[in-house]
Amino acid sequence: MLLAIDVGNTNSVFALYDGTSWISQWRLATDASRTADDYAVWFKQLCEIHNIVIGKVTGCIVSTVVPQAIFNFRNFARRYLSVEPFFIGEPDVKLGVDIRIKRPEQAGADRLVNAVGAHVAYKGPLIVIDSGTATTFDVVGADGGFEGGIICPGINLSMRALHDAAAQLPRIAIQKPETVIGGDTLSAMQSGVFWGYVSLIDGLVQRIKAEYGGQMTVIATGGIASLFEGASETIDHYDFDVTIRGLLEIYQRTTKAPLND
């Protein structure tokens, strides 16, 4: 089995692939101070709940935007899984992606993995929207090349900033409001955040398409993307396996070895 780990700024996703399909996915709050022992206790307990034998894990690949977490994830894989983990960005990991930006070393691991995962499943030029701590719009060429994109504050980050900076504005939950015009402070904030982000998504997608030229398929992924389902006019597919699919593809390109249960 392969353990694929996607470490974001807010949450980390652990996913297990048995050689045929993804059998389990679990989410954990990202904390760079969490030790290898902490991960082991948490992971082992979840495996036991789902009747998964931890000793069957034969590979591990990690994408992280939190460099401080690398040391503990490496120790976790070595000590408790008895495997040497691969990390996106290390020289021996074969992305198989042509990075067509001025500073290729600045491309985030998560964005490159998403480019691979999206290209595996969809044809033609793509726009991949990943909604998390930040909202990223990445352009993937028809041949899978990473061609750059846009980075915006995530919806939760914007909402937190609004609450922190304005003394009389409360912290609110993100949800689709019943009307665009808010009748009170709460509904006005909900409308501003929700419809503001829908407009941001649709507006930026239209601008990317106009600049890039031609038809492009738009894929939304990330923990918050489902909020916009049915509201955005430009998103073609909601696909929450883009990142782990990319990690699986990169692992197979790197090792060229079959995964057995």
Residues with catalytic roles: 110
Could you tell me which residues are beta bridge partners of residue 193?
A: none
DSSP character at residue 167? T
Residues 6+ apart with CB under 8 A from 209: 127, 215, 216
Distance CA 33, CA 129 (A): 29
Tell me the two tokens of residue 242. 């883009």
Tell me the two tokens of residue 210. 């106009």
**SS3 at position 153:** strand
Distance CA 35, CA 62 (A): 16
**SS3 at position 200:** helix
Angle at 146 between CA 86 and CA 150, to 5 degrees: 105
Q: What is the DSSP string of 56-119?
A: G--EEEEEES-GGGHHHHHHHIIIII----EETTSTT------B-SS-GGGS-HHHHHHHHHHH
Q: Cβ(237)–Cβ(244) under 8 Å?
A: no
Counts of helices then strands in the chain (DSSP H, E): 6, 10
